[in-house]
Amino acid sequence: MQLKTTIITPNSEKDPNDVIVEEITLPPVETWPEEVKADTAPASPAMSRTREIAKLDFDVSGVVQPFIVIQLVHPFRHPDLGIVKEIRVHRLTVGEIGDLLDNRPTGMPDLFDIYALQTNIPAPVLRGLIDVDGEAVTKVCYDFLPRYFRRVPIDPPAPSSTSPNGEQ
DSSP letter string, 37-84: HHHTPPPPGGG-------------TTS--SEEEEEEEEEEEETTTEEE
| The total number of structural domains that make up the chain | 2
Q: Are 37 and 53 in contact (CB under 8 A)?
A: no
Work out the burial of residue 2: count CB atoms within 10 Å of its CB; fewer than 13 is exposed, 13-18 middle, 19 or more buried: exposed
User: Is residue 161, in this structure, part of any structural domain at all?
Assistant: no
Q: Are residues 36 and 96 in the same domain?
A: no
For the chain, the farthest-separated pair of C-alpha atoms sits apart, in whole angstroms, at 65
What are the pLDDT digits (tens) for 86-119?
A: 999 988 877 777 777 777 666 566 788 888 889 9
* CA neighbor of 150 nearest in space, from 51, 13, 16: 16
Q: Are residues 33 and 65 in the same domain?
A: no
φ and ψ at 87, to 5 degrees?
A: -130, 130
Q: Are residues 81 and 115 in the same domain?
A: yes
What are the pLDDT digits (tens) for 144-155?
A: 887 777 665 544
User: Is residue 112, in this structure, part of any structural domain at all?
Assistant: yes
pTM of the model: 0.52
Q: Which domain holds residue 15?
A: 1-41
Q: Are residues 58 and 36 in the same domain?
A: no
